Structure 1
Amino acid sequence: MRIALTGSSGKLGTVVARELRAAGHDVIGLDIVGQRGPGFVQVDLSDYGQVIDALAGVNDQHDGVDALVHLGAIPAPGLRSDVATFHNNMLSTFNVFWAAVRLGIHKIVYASSETVLGLPFDVPPPYIPVDEEYAARPESVYSLVKHLEEQLAIELVRWHPEISITALRFSNVMAPEDYAEFPFDEDATTRKWNLWGYIDARDGAQAVQRALENARAGFDRFIIAAADTVMTRSNDELVAEVFPGVPTTGDLGTNDTLLSIDKARRLLGYDPQHSWRDHR
């Protein structure tokens, strides 16, 4: 496929671009910053005119795309003011989705976030492991936008049932060079904010590819995390210390992820291959 990739210069986007190209796809990167050259177009996603024009075709770069991967955003709460985060991320996602609809691009995969699950879990989750089955619990403006983006996608596919929009609720994205800081065993509360989860950027790219290949028409959401936690301490010990009284569903495993990836495994064929433990 020829795939437009917003946020192609970001931490996850650079890996997604590399892995999709290695799989044989033609990737057109769209970002406000990046290296000039084939396969990259500088675009301000908050400007609808630039977005639809870049997706429709750019001189000798391309004459239209088959699919869209949308990763472009202010990537976390607290990096900019709440108002700037809301305005940039909400407007950018609307522009990207709306341009795709208008251009007849029927396959969309985009970055939602683990934050919609209730991070930083100052209010404990309803149960552990968490999954996609309970209602969103945004606790920041950044997370609120991610929730609203999912609601936007739901309505767009209701209007256009032929479109597939997949929300990937990525955990905290890590690269191999980040693993020198692992594990975080000294204080269980240091990483309790996302149930001690993470995602290797290479497995994040795999999830994108599986969604492009396997997602059906309509909207769906998937938690995307590594298969393990950032701890060597056992899950039973961590949950008892930090979230006493929260119901658990089934065997938590010793260090298995507490951000359930069962749905992504089952419906997308997602199968994480990378762990910080491989770099110790």
Structure 2
Amino acid sequence: MRILLTGSSGWLGRHLAPLLRAAGHQVTGLDVVAGPETQVLGSVANRAVVDRAMGFGIEAVIHTGALHKPDIARHPARSFVDVNVTGTLNLLESAKAAGCSRVVMTSSTSLMISQSIRDERGDAAVWLDESAGPLAPRNIYGVTKLAAEGLCRLFAEAHGLPGVVLRTSRFFPEDDDTLVRPSGENLKAIELLHRRLTVEDAARAHIAALDKAPALGFGCFVVSAPPPFARSDLAELKRDAAAVIARLFPDAPGLFAAKGWTLPRSIGRVYDPGLAEAALGFRCRTDFASVLDALREGRPLPFAHDPAYVSPMVRG
């Protein structure tokens, strides 16, 4: 298929475009900054730019471009509405007019986190899947991504344009912009237990969604590394996460200590990607066990970590 890929200069787009070509697709990249995978420069907030990109004979759209949570410090709320909401509407309208067969949109598990969940006020960790709600996003990023999801659903149901929304958990390579301890690779390794996936797995999930979209009509899926926990672990995860981890992975404490890492004292939420596995046939290849395997065998860690990473949009 001839695919329009938005956000083609970004972290996910740069990994996804080669996978699409390897699967036999032709890719036209659209981004606000130049990059090796980008052919059309401009913003999805500009309908003329979107229509120009669609003029490449596009048959399907993968929409990864967006303003993200760290952009809140750099952009006003209106910019989030322009890019994340109006931009998504532009793409859907243009895709419908062009007779596209499907749309896949990257969303975020962040929109599932209310302020109370963020503050971890409960006595147990929160189990989060597609049934979680009512949703009350805590910032403009989450609000606009939730609105964009609604537009995808509306176009599938009212206009017959199949769409799949992927609520991906974390896969950015840089350090967390709010947490100090643990940090770096230690934090990313821990997050693979409950709220992270690799960028490679995120790209693979989009390929799976592209294949399944017509049969699904519409679907919204959490995409994250499969957690090793059960719902019965939630109270103990909040109270003593290290004990749960040690029970499930007896050598984890020693492997972490040898690396100079720490295990978490508490885990406040767990993302469940089970529906994506059932409906899309997709399961992340990299999980917490993969990290422990790498530590045992002295291999490089199975995830990207780059504290100096700056997004192309910020550099531009």
Residue 45, structure 1, aligned to residue 44, structure 2: yes
* Contact 1:112 1:150 (C-alpha < 8 Å) held by counterparts: yes
Question: Residues 225-264 of structure 1, C-alpha deviation per residue, up to 9 Å, x if partnerless?
Answer: 12358xxxx976532259xxxxxxxxx9669992111000
Instruction: Give the equivalent residue in structure 2 for 1:102.
Output: 97
SS at match of 2:103: strand
Q: Distance in 1 between matches of 2:106 and 2:138?
A: 18
* AA partner of residue 27 (structure 2): V
Q: Deviations over 1:61-117 (max 9, x none)?
A: xxx122110011112252423232222221111111111111111210011110121
Partner Cα distance (2:138, 2:174) in 1: 29
Q: Which residue of 2 aligns with 1:144?
A: 143
Contact 2:4 2:53 in 1 (8 A): no
2:66 pairs with one of 59, 69, 73: 73
Aligned to 1:246: none
Inter-partner Cα distance in structure 2 for 1:90 and 1:11: 21
Indicate if the aligned counterparts of 1:174 and 1:198 stay in contact, CA closer than 8 A: no
Partner SS state of residue 12, structure 2: helix
CA displacement, residues 13-47 of structure 1 (integer Å, 9 cap, x when unaligned): 1111122122222111111112368x622132111
When residues 269 and 85 of structure 1 are mapped into structure 2, their CA distance, relative to the original with a 3 A threshold, is: same
Counterparts in 2 of 1:207 and 1:253: CA distance versus 1, 3 Å: farther
Aligned to 1:116: 111
Q: Which SS does the other structure have where 2:167 is aligned? A: strand
Q: TM-score, normalised by structure 2?
A: 0.70
Task: Sort the Cα spacing of 1:272 and 1:217 in 2 relative to 1 into closer, same or farther, 3 A.
Answer: closer
Percent sequence identity is: 27
Shift of 1:53: 2.0
Worse-matched range after superposition: 268-277 or 10-19: 268-277
Q: 2:284 aligns with which of 260, 266, 272?
A: 272
Q: Who is 1:22 aligned against?
A: 22
Partner-residue secondary structure (3-state), 1:129: strand
3-state SS, counterpart of residue 52 of structure 1: helix
- 1:258 is matched by which residue type in structure 2? V
CA offset at residue 177 of structure 1?
Answer: 10
5 Å-filtered alignment, 1:1-280, equals 1-35=1-35, 40-57=39-56, 64-77=57-70, 78-79=72-73, 80-118=75-113, 121-122=117-118, 124=120, 128-135=126-133, 136-161=135-160, 163-175=161-173, 181-184=184-187, 196-215=194-213, 216-228=215-227, 237-240=236-239, 258-275=270-287, 277=291, 278=294, 279-280=300-301
Amino acid at match of 1:74: L
> What is the CA–CA distance in structure 1 between the aligned matches of 2:145 and 2:193, rounded to whole Å?
19
Residue identity in the other structure for 1:159 = A
Q: Is the 8 Å Cα contact of residues 132 and 223 (structure 1) preserved in structure 2?
A: yes
- Kindly provide the CA deviation profile for residues 139-187 of structure 1, in whole angstroms up to 9, marking residues without a partner as x: 11110011111111222122223x2111100111145999x922239xx
What's the RMSD between the two structures over aligned residues?
Answer: 3.3
For 2:107 and 2:281, the matched residues in 1 are separated by: 19
